[in-house]
Homo-oligomer: A and B are copies of this chain.
Amino acid sequence: MINGFDPAAAPELATGLAPGLADLVRRRAELLGPAYKLFYKTPVEFVRGSGVHLYDPEGIEYLDAYNNVPSVGHANAHVAEAVSRQLLQLNTHTRYAAAPILDYAERLLATHAPELGNVMFTCTGSEAVDLALRVARAGTGQTGIVVTANAYHGVTSAVAEVSPSFGPGVPLGAHVRTVRAFESLADGVAEAIADLERHGIGFAALIVDTIFSSDGVWTDPLGFLRPVADVVHNAGGLFIADEVQAGFARTGEAMWGYQRHGIVPDLVTMGKPMGNGMPIAGIAARPELLAEFGARARYFNTFGGNSVCVAAASAVLDVIEADGLQSNALLVGRYLRDGLTELAGQHQAIGEIRGAGQYTGVDILNAAGQPDGELAVAVVNGLRERRVLISATGADGATLKIRPPLPFGRSHADQLIEALDSALSLSNADAG
């Protein structure tokens, strides 16, 4: 795992931790087992959050330039109030009639392409992708899925099978093909479909993150997904836009990543930022697809779209609108990338800078100009020492991932750039 804490690989670090942190690390291993991973060479403990900041037990402030789940800010008062009020009113499931979930569904669908007329609610992005796969397979009668080479879509059995970023320990499904995320994507998808069919596996769907986050943050040029969608539809398959990363105004240019490309997906999966940390996620779908699925299967997700999570999600839309967070994302994202471009003039280690809105990728290069995952992780840890949180991504982990809560402003961007300048200046590999 990129930027993971691995006590086995570096026992001297684990033994060098401050006593309180060492105790938490030991208790985690003992209670939660080995599948849980912490971030950072030296993990960090947080006890409080507010806006774009997190605070450790000593009250030290960290600038959060990484977490997209608290999308409208940590401990957002409007969301907290909506949830608190609803908790004392009613929290129930979807088998009793209720207006609020329908009001929210209407409001959410109004932000989507009109062809996407239905929404279904789950608790997590993984469940949303899992449901989208079920719907796509029911709708096409086929099972073949195409994904990008380092895609991450979630953790259920079926979704882990289409998430190559887990690495070889988690095998891809026999009905899954991978393609390179960016270059000649349409050709790659056509070849993958042909290969599926050559193996007797009918093509059901392509699923892509519309910002290609785990593949290294590929955002431009606008419209590059159009020929890909054409290939998919000409082959009788479905285009599933995974908006767990790009959605809910993050790109600044649109509410949804697919809208930047001028395409209309058949299914859209939504997750992380939807409820500002309250577990709500879902799919938007063309109604004709759900007609096929609904004729065969009922769908009930006990907590999915419950009263309290819907209240949270509705409050998130309030804040995005009232605080102009989409336009803030657009402007601050550009400001940040302009600043990073300027900084690149002073640091050979900074390669290509890509992004849209509050999602920015920065390639980190070694002295020979090649992607350098080790240096990228050193930079991430250097920023952590400077109280700024980011991570790295991409197949080789050589792309810095900057994905702050949406209220992240220009002064925060300045602080991030300054910290990055400092971290790179001290890095040995940046001598060139």
- List residues of chain A with CB under 8 Å of any chain B CB: 1, 4, 21, 24-25, 27-28, 30-39, 43-49, 54, 67, 69-70, 74-75, 77, 79-80, 83-84, 87-99, 101-102, 105-106, 109, 117-120, 122-127, 130-131, 133-134, 155-158, 160, 166, 169-170, 271-272, 276-279, 285, 287, 290-291, 293-304, 306, 308-309
Tell whether, in the assembled complex, residue A302 and residue B92 are in contact, meaning their CB atoms are under 8 Å apart: no
Known A45-B98, A130-B156; contact A83-B90, beta-carbon cutoff 8 A: no
Q: How near does chain B come to A338, taking the closest CB pair, in angstroms?
A: 30
Among candidates B36, B38, B158, residue contacting A158 with C-beta atoms closer than 8 Å: B158
Q: How near does chain B come to A415, taking the closest CB pair, in angstroms?
A: 20
Q: Which of A36, A39, A54, A105 has the most chain B CB atoms closer than 10 A to its own CB?
A: A36
- Residues of chain B with a CB closer than 8 A to A37's CB: 95, 298, 300
- Residues of chain B with a CB closer than 8 A to A70's CB: 91-92
Among candidates B1, B31, B75, B155, residue contacting A301 with C-beta atoms closer than 8 Å: B155
In the complex the two chains form, what is the Cα distance from A260 to B134 in whole Å? 37
- Residues of chain B with a CB closer than 8 A to A301's CB: 124, 126, 155
Tell whether, in the assembled complex, residue B102 and residue A28 are in contact, meaning their CB atoms are under 8 Å apart: yes
- Residues of chain B with a CB closer than 8 A to A271's CB: 302
In the complex the two chains form, what is the Cα distance from A399 to B302 in whole Å? 21
Using CB atoms, name the residue of chain B closest to A291: B34
Q: Which of A91, A97, A125, A278 has the most chain B CB atoms closer than 10 A to its own CB?
A: A97
Q: How near does chain B come to A32, taking the closest CB pair, in angstroms?
A: 6
In the complex the two chains form, what is the Cα distance from A131 to B166 in whole Å? 15
Among candidates B160, B297, B303, residue contacting A35 with C-beta atoms closer than 8 Å: B297
Tell whether, in the assembled complex, residue A157 and residue B157 are in contact, meaning their CB atoms are under 8 Å apart: yes
Known A31-B105, A124-B301, A169-B297; contact A75-B92, beta-carbon cutoff 8 A: no
Known A35-B293, A97-B21; contact A90-B46, beta-carbon cutoff 8 A: yes
Q: How near does chain B come to A14, taking the closest CB pair, in angstroms?
A: 13
In the complex the two chains form, what is the Cα distance from A37 to B301 in whole Å? 11
Known A54-B92, A96-B43; contact A35-B169, beta-carbon cutoff 8 A: no
Q: How near does chain B come to A199, taking the closest CB pair, in angstroms?
A: 18
Tell whether, in the assembled complex, residue A277 and residue B294 are in contact, meaning their CB atoms are under 8 Å apart: no
Q: List 19 A-B contacts (CB under 8 A).
A: A24-B99, A30-B117, A36-B94, A37-B300, A43-B97, A45-B99, A46-B97, A49-B90, A54-B96, A74-B90, A75-B87, A79-B87, A124-B124, A124-B301, A124-B303, A155-B300, A157-B157, A272-B302, A279-B303
- Residues of chain B with a CB closer than 8 A to A91's CB: 49, 70, 74-75, 276-277
Tell whether, in the assembled complex, residue B90 and residue A120 are in contact, meaning their CB atoms are under 8 Å apart: no
- Residues of chain B with a CB closer than 8 A to A34's CB: 290-291, 293-295
In the complex the two chains form, what is the Cα distance from A32 to B299 in whole Å? 11
Other 4 A-B pairs with CB < 8 A, given A31-B117, A277-B306: A31-B119, A69-B303, A80-B84, A271-B302
Tell whether, in the assembled complex, residue B97 and residue A24 are in contact, meaning their CB atoms are under 8 Å apart: yes
Q: Which of A25, A84, A295 has the most chain B CB atoms closer than 10 A to its own CB?
A: A84
- Residues of chain B with a CB closer than 8 A to A43's CB: 96-97
- Residues of chain B with a CB closer than 8 A to A92's CB: 46, 49, 54, 67, 69-70, 74, 277
In the complex the two chains form, what is the Cα distance from A83 to B1 in whole Å? 31
Tell whether, in the assembled complex, residue A302 and residue B69 are in contact, meaning their CB atoms are under 8 Å apart: yes
- Residues of chain B with a CB closer than 8 A to A49's CB: 89-92
Tell whether, in the assembled complex, residue B48 and residue A90 are in contact, meaning their CB atoms are under 8 Å apart: yes
Among candidates B38, B300, B303, residue contacting A96 with C-beta atoms closer than 8 Å: B38
